Chain A
Amino acid sequence: MKIVAVTACPTGIAHTYMAAARLEKTAKDMGHEIKVETQGALGIENPLSDQDIRQAQVAIFAVDISVEGRERFKGMKVIEVPLQEAIKNAQGIFEKLKG
């Protein structure tokens, strides 16, 4: 499955990137294709292009704060979870996608 994801936490210096790394690794292990945008203290990195978003079947928001540029995902299936969920139990999130 093609997936896009956004991670963001309040301080944006560690957990944001941890969650991104965990999502990428887990997706790869489970045979999904994923691109993760991080919205940390440095701003948006690895930004999702319109094409990325159009091609994906689902978006995962693993965030403790609001997602910037939320309107980009309009009309798309979005799963929103607390950031910690992505760090502790990324597999569970991907399993939820099937259901």
Chain B
Amino acid sequence: MMEQLRHLRQHLLTGVSYVIPFVACGGILIGLSIGIGSRYGMPITSNGPDFSHLPILKLIFDIGSAAFALMLSVLAGYISYSIAGRPGLVPGFIGGYLSGQVKAGFLGAILVGLVAGYIVELIKKLPVPSFIRPIMPILVIPILSSAAIGIIMLKVLGTPIAALMVAATSFLKNMSTGNSVLLALLLGGMIAFDMGGPINKTAFFFGLAMIQEGNFRIMGACAAAICTPPLGLGLATLFRRKLWNEEEQEAGLASLTMGMMGITEGAIPFAAADPLRVIPCIIVGSMVASVIAMLGGVGDRAPHGGPIVLAFGAVNNVLAYVVAILAGTVVTALCITAAKSFSAPKALAATEGR
């Protein structure tokens, strides 16, 4: 059972590892175009930003949007690839694309990627006469598995997942009319919880939807929370250096860079190594950041987070934004330092004892 779970996680992380550069590329290009555009007084309508007078920014925006558009296909495709190897790619990519079409989003793409991979594994095991074997990988498996995955996504799984996503969004929307601190706590927690996974992306895309409705504060709270997990963990490796081995200190620097760029996924390797200590700590840090950003009235017009959006000029109330990020980062670092000091991980204790 544990072995099964470990494999499942391995497949998910494989998909994530391929999707991270797409997230970074799309997020930063879109953020850059919107950020610069907003300096020139570009309006943001319900159809997205209005680039009618800014053709170069539109070009940048379109390239970034293409990266985002491919994200779900790549995620599902490589989850399936991880399970079934090369024949897994076709149904995975198609399933991920369809997940976007039926608005089942990130969660849909993850599920469909898993299902696609296992379907291909099943088809591979079918006993076939030897004259059919050569055409299995290029004809039979792609067509059968894609047909199956298409039917599953369009007729079975897609609608309930899409409904779930709509329900989650409208729940968050209802909250945004009520207590804004509670909403910020929830958003911060969601952003940190799975570091770029479906829960993180639900909060992020809610912020994106709110930008299109002219409410930039939701993304402001998300943007601060997005960067504190990698920043806080990176800072912690500088804090009390003897808690971390030499290599981890080096990884801390990479993590700081990812944080500056607003890539929450930078925290994944730390969390994968020690989830029970790391995840609660980064949740607390992100909550602190998002609440301060919310109370400070931070608005972020660009659908991206971290200090880098400051360079785009997409954030108003810069001071509150910086304070929020610093506070969240320091809280994260303090929490993980305390957690590691008072209860050293087993492997570490074993190494020290030798």
With a cutoff of 8 Å between Cβ atoms, the chain A residues found around residue B274 in the complex are 84
Quote the shortest CB–CB distance from B272 to chain A (angstroms): 5
Nearest B residue to A12, CB-CB: B17
Question: Hey, what's the 0/1 contact readout for A64-89 against B, CB within 8 Å counting as 1?
Answer: 11100011000000000011110111
CB <8 Å contact, A14 and B347: no
B269 in contact (CB, < 8 A): yes
Number of A-B residue pairs with CB-CB distance less than 8 Å in the complex they form: 89
Tell me the count of chain B residues lying within 8 A, CB to CB, of chain A. 36
Let me know if A66 and B269 touch, CB within 8 A. Answer: no
* Nearest-Cβ distance from residue B249 to partner chain A, whole angstroms: 10
- Give the complex CA separation of A83 and B6 in angstroms: 12
Q: Which of A14, A22, A63, A92 has the most CB of B within 10 A?
A: A14
B251 touches A14 (CB 8 A): yes
| Shortest beta-carbon distance from A5 to chain B in Å | 15
Q: Is A10 an interface residue (CB 8 A)?
A: yes
**A83:B272 contact, CB within 8 angstroms:** yes
Inter-subunit contact B351/A14 (CB<8 Å): no
The answer, among B17, B83, B85, B245, for a CB contact under 8 Å with A88, is B245
- Asked if B11 is at the interface (CB within 8 A of a chain A CB), the reply is yes
Closest residue on chain A to residue B347 by CB atoms: A88
A91 to B17, CA, bound (A): 28
Indicate if the CB atoms of A11 and B20 lie closer than 8 Å. yes
Compute how far the CA of A10 lies from the CA of B82 in the bound complex, rounded to whole angstroms: 12
Complex contact B82–A66 (CB within 8 A): yes
**Residues from chain B with Cβ under 8 Å of A35 in the complex:** none
Instruction: Tell whether A11 pairs with B268 under 8 Å between CB atoms, given A22-B247, A65-B17.
Output: yes
Given contacts A11-B266, A12-B17, contact A66 B251 (CB under 8 A): no
Cβ-defined contact, B269 with A14, below 8 A: yes
Complex Cα distance, B245 from A19, in Å, reads 12
Mask, B8-45, CB within 8 Å of A = 1, is 01110110110011000000000000000000000000
Contacts of B268 in A (CB 8 A): 10-11
B11 touches A66 (CB 8 A): yes
Pair A18/B251 contact, Cβ less than 8 Å? yes
Let me know if A89 and B347 touch, CB within 8 A. yes
| Known contacts A41-B21, A65-B14, A66-B14: A10-B272 contact under CB 8 Å | yes
Contact between B13 and A64 (Cβ–Cβ < 8 Å)?
A: yes
**Given that A83-B272, A88-B348 are known contacts, is A10 also in contact with B16, CB under 8 Å in the complex?**
yes
A66–B86 Cα distance when bound, in Å, is 13
Within the assembled complex, what's the spacing in Å between the Cα atoms of A84 and B6? 14
**Which of A41, A83, A84 has the largest count of B CB atoms less than 10 A from its CB?**
A84
- Cβ of B17 and Cβ of A18 under 8 Å apart? no
CB distance from A44 to the nearest CB of B (A): 13
Q: B50: CB under 8 A from chain A?
A: no
Q: Across the interface, which residues of B come within 8 angstroms of A9, CB to CB?
A: 17, 269, 272
Given A15-B251, A22-B247, A64-B272, A88 contacting B266 (CB threshold 8 A): no
Which residues of A approach B to under 8 Å, CB–CB?
8-15, 18-19, 21-22, 41, 63-66, 70-71, 82-85, 87-89, 91-92
**Further pairs besides A66-B10, A88-B347: 17, Cβ < 8 Å:** A10-B14, A11-B254, A11-B265, A13-B258, A18-B250, A41-B20, A64-B13, A64-B272, A66-B82, A71-B85, A82-B272, A83-B269, A84-B347, A85-B347, A87-B245, A88-B245, A88-B351
Q: Which 4 A-B pairs have the closest CB atoms?
A: A18-B247, A14-B251, A14-B254, A84-B273
Point out residues on B near A: beta carbons under 8 Å.
6, 9-11, 13-14, 16-17, 20-21, 81-83, 85, 245, 247-248, 250-251, 253-255, 258, 265-266, 268-269, 272-274, 345, 347-348, 350-351, 354
23 A/B residue pairs, CB under 8 Å, sorted by A: A8-B17, A9-B269, A10-B14, A10-B16, A10-B17, A11-B17, A11-B268, A12-B17, A14-B269, A15-B247, A18-B251, A64-B9, A64-B13, A66-B11, A66-B83, A71-B85, A84-B274, A84-B347, A85-B347, A87-B248, A88-B273, A89-B347, A91-B354
